Structure 1
Amino acid sequence: MARILERTVLFADLRGSTGLFERLGNAAASTLVTGAVTQLGECVERGGGHVVKTLGDGLMAVFENATSAVAAADAMHQALQRLSRGSNVPAASALKLQVAMARGEVVEIESDCFGDAVNVAARLLDHAGDNETLVTVDVLAGLQPAQQMRFRALDRLQLRGRAEPVQVHLLQGRQAMADGAATQFGDALPMPGQPEALRLVWGGQERIFATAQLPLVLGRSPQAACCIDDSRVSRSHARIDWHGGAFQFTDLSFNGSYIRFTHDRAVLSLRRGSCTLHGSGEIGLGVPPGDTRTPVVRFEVLRLAEDTLPAPGTGITR
Structure 2
Amino acid sequence: MTQIRERTVLFADLRGSTALFETLGNAEATGLVTQTVGLLAQAVGECRGHLIKTLGDGLMAAFDNPKDGIKSAMRMQELLIKSAHRIERLRNMHLQIALARGEVVEIHGDCFGDAVNVAARLLDHAGDGETVVTAEVVHGLSTTQKARFRSLDQISVRGRVEPVHVYVLDQGQGDAGATQFGEVIRAAAPDGIRLVWQDLDRVFDIEQMPIVLGRSTQATYCITDVRVSRSHARIDWQGSSFSLTDLSYNGTFVRFGHGGQTLSLRRGACTLHGAGAIGLGGPPSDTLAPTVRFEVLHHAETDRSPLVMRRGV
TM-score of the two chains, using structure 2 as the length reference: 0.83
Alpha-carbon separation, structure 2, partners of 1:315 and 1:205: 13
> Is residue 158–residue 235 contact of structure 1 (8 Å, CA) maintained in 2?
no
| Residue 219 (structure 1) shift | 2.4
1:169-192 Cα deviation digits (max 9, x unpaired) = 11111344xx58xxxxxxxxx996
> Is residue 124–residue 231 contact of structure 2 (8 Å, CA) maintained in 1?
no
| Residue 107 (structure 1) shift | 1.1
Alignment match, 1:185: none
Match of 1:297 among 292, 295, 308: 292
Aligned partner of residue 289 in structure 1, secondary structure:
coil
1:47-91 Cα deviation digits (max 9, x unpaired) = 01010111111110000000110011111111111011122xx22
1:84-115 Cα deviation digits (max 9, x unpaired) = 1122xx22101100001111111111111111
Alpha-carbon separation, structure 1, partners of 2:229 and 2:279: 12
Alpha-carbon separation, structure 2, partners of 1:296 and 1:175: 29
Match of 2:265 among 251, 267, 270: 270
> Is residue 191–residue 245 contact of structure 1 (8 Å, CA) maintained in 2?
no
Match of 2:302 among 304, 307, 310: 310
Alignment match, 1:260: 255
Write the letter of the residue equivalent to 1:259: V
Alpha-carbon separation, structure 2, partners of 1:297 and 1:79: 37
Alpha-carbon separation, structure 2, partners of 1:168 and 1:75: 21
For the pair 1:30 / 2:24, whether they are aligned, the reply is: no
For the pair 1:9 / 2:9, whether they are aligned, the reply is: yes
Alpha-carbon separation, structure 2, partners of 1:172 and 1:6: 26
Alignment match, 1:21: 21
Alignment match, 1:109: 107
Alpha-carbon separation, structure 2, partners of 1:134 and 1:209: 23
Write the letter of the residue equivalent to 2:143: P
Q: Gaps (5+ residues) in structure 2?
A: 177-183, 307-313
Alignment match, 1:150: 148
| Residue 245 (structure 1) shift | 5.4
Residues 51-66 of structure 1: pairs in structure 2 closer than 5 A: 51-66=51-66
Pair 213,163 (structure 1): closer, same or farther in 2 beyond 3 Å: closer
Instruction: Figure out how many residues of one structure are paired with residues of the other and give that number.
Output: 297
Pair 149,315 (structure 1): closer, same or farther in 2 beyond 3 Å: farther
Alignment match, 2:159: 161
| Residue 225 (structure 1) shift | 3.8
1:238-293 Cα deviation digits (max 9, x unpaired) = 11224485532111134432333334476544342323334432112244435777
Pair 151,39 (structure 1): closer, same or farther in 2 beyond 3 Å: same
Pair 165,22 (structure 1): closer, same or farther in 2 beyond 3 Å: same
Alignment match, 2:74: 74
Alpha-carbon separation, structure 1, partners of 2:208 and 2:236: 9
Aligned partner of residue 174 in structure 1, secondary structure:
coil
| Residue 132 (structure 1) shift | 0.5
Aligned partner of residue 233 in structure 1, secondary structure:
coil
Alpha-carbon separation, structure 2, partners of 1:142 and 1:195: 33
Write the letter of the residue equivalent to 2:55: L
Pair 229,25 (structure 1): closer, same or farther in 2 beyond 3 Å: closer
| Residue 212 (structure 1) shift | 5.8
Alpha-carbon separation, structure 2, partners of 1:242 and 1:101: 22
Alpha-carbon separation, structure 2, partners of 1:309 and 1:290: 27
> Is residue 215–residue 229 contact of structure 2 (8 Å, CA) maintained in 1?
yes
Alignment match, 1:91: 89
Alignment match, 1:124: 122
Alpha-carbon separation, structure 1, partners of 2:17 and 2:223: 31
Aligned partner of residue 18 in structure 2, secondary structure:
helix
Alignment match, 2:223: 228
Which has the larger displacement, 154-163 or 141-150?
Answer: 154-163
Which has the larger displacement, 263-272 or 8-17?
Answer: 263-272
Alpha-carbon separation, structure 1, partners of 2:185 and 2:285: 36
Alpha-carbon separation, structure 2, partners of 1:242 and 1:39: 34
Name the Cα RMSD after superposition: 2.8
TM-score of the two chains, using structure 1 as the length reference: 0.82
Pair 175,289 (structure 1): closer, same or farther in 2 beyond 3 Å: closer
Write the letter of the residue equivalent to 1:258: F
Q: Gaps (5+ residues) in structure 1?
A: 181-189
> Is residue 220–residue 237 contact of structure 1 (8 Å, CA) maintained in 2?
yes
Alpha-carbon separation, structure 1, partners of 2:38 and 2:219: 37
Aligned partner of residue 267 in structure 2, secondary structure:
coil
| Residue 11 (structure 1) shift | 0.4
Pair 85,243 (structure 1): closer, same or farther in 2 beyond 3 Å: farther
Pair 207,118 (structure 1): closer, same or farther in 2 beyond 3 Å: same
| Residue 205 (structure 1) shift | 4.4
